[in-house]
Amino acid sequence: MEIRLHILIGLISALMPFQNMAQVYDAANMNPETDIPVPSVFLMPNVYPAVILNGDTVACMWLTDFIKYSPLTFRNRKDQAAYGKLVRDVKKTLPFAKQIACIITETYEYMETLPDDKARQKHLNRMEKYLMDEYTPKMKKLTRSQGQLLMKLVDRETNSSSYHIIDAFMGSFKAWSYNLFAGLFGNSLKTRYNPYGEDRITEQVCVLVEQGEI
């Protein structure tokens, strides 16, 4: 229902007459001292406040940080193919890592509001069941290398290894058990992410994916 509501709002905004959009925006951006509307620049689908400089209308907007890397050179086709595979794997696993990081943050903040350890443990049990039901089918579709990458990207997003996260929330025994299970597939929950060393290229790919460059 919420998704449909967002779609409906988007369609209404797109179909509104151009003049009406200008009037609504200017009404919300009056100069409080002079009651004169602030000049506007329409760069569809967004509208930005503007200033007049030497007769030109210049849009005012906040720009996010942008990182530019030098083009990569490959020694051979094998290296180029490995890079292409890394790009595909990052695109597949990075969203999972960000979702997991978000869940961890929300869970921690919510647990801080609970009155006692019993209530916290009850909530953790519910969260564990939810995560198992929600993510187990998705995780099963990952290859071994993608699973290893995911654990590193979780570390990237949370600055904590998967082992440490489980240990902090669920205790040492479960952390040990899960790590033992991961070891059967050649993985380790204690894997750390090193963006300045062995994971330098992975970090570059992650940044480019986040910026929409690849």
119 is a domain residue? yes
Average pLDDT value for residue range 31-37: 50
At 22 the pLDDT is: 39
155 is a domain residue? yes
Kindly give, in sequence order, each residue whose CB lies less than 8 Å from that of residue 7, ignoring residues fewer than 6 positions away. none
In the chain, the percentage of residues whose pLDDT exceeds 90 is: 23
Select the highest-mean-pLDDT range: 17-21, 117-121, 132-136, 185-189.
117-121
Q: Is residue 52 domain-shared with residue 154, that is, in the same domain?
A: no
Q: Is residue 167 domain-shared with residue 88, that is, in the same domain?
A: yes
Q: Is residue 48 domain-shared with residue 130, that is, in the same domain?
A: no
At 177 the pLDDT is: 79
In which band, very low, low, confident or very high, does the pLDDT at 40 lie, cut at 50, 70 and 90?
low
108 is a domain residue? yes
Q: Is residue 193 domain-shared with residue 155, that is, in the same domain?
A: yes
In which band, very low, low, confident or very high, does the pLDDT at 84 lie, cut at 50, 70 and 90?
very high
Q: Measure the CA–CA gap between 125 and 171, rounded to whole angstroms.
A: 12
Q: Is residue 47 domain-shared with residue 111, that is, in the same domain?
A: no
27 is a domain residue? yes
Number of domains in the chain: 2
Q: Is residue 54 domain-shared with residue 82, that is, in the same domain?
A: no
Average pLDDT value for residue range 187-193: 82
At 7 the pLDDT is: 40
At 98 the pLDDT is: 92
161-to-142, 153, 192 alpha-carbon distances in Å: 19, 9, 6
Structural domain of 194 = 77-210
**Considering only 35-39, 123-127, 170-174, 183-187, which range has the smallest mean pLDDT?**
35-39
35: pLDDT strictly greater than 70: no
Sequence length of the chain is 214
Averaged confidence pLDDT in the chain? 77
Name beta bridge partners: 57.
Answer: 52
Give the long-range contacts of residues 164-168, CB within 8 A, separation 24 or more.
165/104
At 117 the pLDDT is: 86
